[in-house]
Amino acid sequence: MKRTTATVILALCAALASRQTHAQSSDTMDIRSCTAIESDAQRLACYDQAAGRAGLPAARKKSADATASPDVFQRDSKLTGTAAGATVRSLSLLDSRWELSPESKLGTYNVRGYKPVYVMPGFGTNDQNESPQSPNPDNTVSTPEHLDDVEAKFQISLKTKVWEGVFGDVGDLWIAYTQSSRWQLYNKAESRPFRETNYEPEAVLAFDTHYEVLGWQGRLLGIGVNHQSNGRSNPLSRGWNRVIADVGLERDGWTVMVRPWWRIPEPSENDDNPDISDYMGRGDVQIVHERGRQEFGLMLRHSLREGSRSHGAAQLTWSFPMGGNFRGYVELFKGYGESMIDYNHNATHLGLGVSLLDWY
């Protein structure tokens, strides 16, 4: 059953890869956004730009397209090409992923990537957590597990817009689901168990914003409700619920997401991990840099407390082209909370594998 589950998830990842085209850099347009363009000439130019055919002669207009306003695609972004007098612009990373501007809207119930989707056959650590514990006695392991330091890890993460224009012309409601698994693939002595799987459904209300701070363009403001747990029974049960704010800023080749959150309180007797905010933090910052066809990510997280309650984590990711829709993927994590079961465990993790989708 465990192998069958993994096979199904890996197949889902492969199917997703065949449907998704990653926006490789700030100079490459997300081809799916072209479907929202009503003008034939402008839509053709959009497809040419997305396919790297920007040097071809512009399409000729056949009708009232000749009077279309050249400003329709220029707002808040650099210009990348023209179509018989109408300017087509490249979508930024946040715009293409969250459909912020009017020309990037694709309607509702289009399933697309959210967080990175990857498979890492090698995911190792310097200190595997064989005795998970919590201040709640019911959530403390008494007998150590026998675990390998090297395992496999994979993640699927999808989102879809369920309501466009919640408040008239502004505000889109998205729902998302992320699942990541750590699989003791090489632990034959213990029958290759899944060590930890985290489930994370959430809902996000996202708004398109337009302001500038120190040269950065404020492009997204969101508020959401997030549940994260490992779906296990005591003593290994871990979970929490949060209200998360999202503030997205960007400039050429760079995207920054600032995400403070507030944990929704639980009754103390039912709390699997009462001190989780002091380890998994009260907010994080996610930075993405696109350089050519490579993408670099940095996540910084902290408890925002001092002394014995001061804990945090950092994660570096690097994805690079390998051919087709496949990209190499490297992940380096240091600190607390690589997974829910390890929320108060400090370790270093290094993984290598294949990415099918990158950030957002």
The pLDDT tens digits of the residues spanning 253-270 come to 999 999 999 999 999 888
Residue 208 forms beta bridges with which residues?
A: 220
Q: Let me know: does 287 contact 298? Beta carbons within 8 Å.
A: yes
Domain residue ranges of the chain, discontinuous segments joined by +: 27-91, 109-357
Is 302 known to be catalytic? no
Whole-number pLDDT of residue 323: 84
57 phi/psi in degrees, rounded to 5: -60, 145
Whole-number pLDDT of residue 326: 84
Pull the structure tokens for residue 135. 């201040």
Fold of domain 109-357: Outer membrane phospholipase (ompla); Chain C (2.40.230)
Whole-number pLDDT of residue 41: 56
Q: How far apart are CA 334 and CA 349, in angstroms?
A: 6
CA 210 to chain centre: 22
Pick the catalytic residue from 63, 146, 227, 237: 227
Pick the catalytic residue from 229, 233, 308, 311: 229
**How distant, in Å, are the alpha carbons of 59, 62, 115, 194, 332 from that of 355?**
36, 42, 11, 21, 14
What's the one-letter identity of residue 38? E
Q: How far apart are CA 181 and CA 196, in angstroms?
A: 6
Neighbours of 136 (CB within 10 A): 18
Element (H, E) at 8: helix 2-19
88 phi/psi in degrees, rounded to 5: -105, 135
pTM of the model: 0.77
Could you tell me which residues come within 8 angstroms of residue 249 by beta carbon, excluding any fewer than 6 positions away?
A: 213, 216, 217, 218, 219, 255, 256, 258
pLDDT tens digits, the chain, 360 residues: what are they?
444 444 444 444 444 444 444 433 333 445 655 655 545 555 666 666 666 655 544 433 333 333 333 333 232 333 344 444 444 456 788 998 999 999 899 999 999 999 999 999 999 999 999 999 999 999 999 999 999 999 999 999 999 999 999 999 899 999 999 999 999 999 999 999 999 999 999 999 999 999 999 999 999 999 999 999 999 999 999 999 999 999 999 999 999 999 999 999 999 888 999 999 999 999 999 999 999 889 999 999 999 999 999 999 999 999 999 987 789 999 999 999 999 999 999 999 999 999 987 665
Is 229 known to be catalytic? yes
Residue 220 forms beta bridges with which residues?
A: 208, 248
Q: How far apart are CA 222 and CA 162, in angstroms?
A: 15
- DSSP conformational letter for 136: S
Whole-number pLDDT of residue 351: 98
Closest CA to 26 of 95, 90, 69: 90
What's the one-letter identity of residue 217? Q
Whole-number pLDDT of residue 44: 67
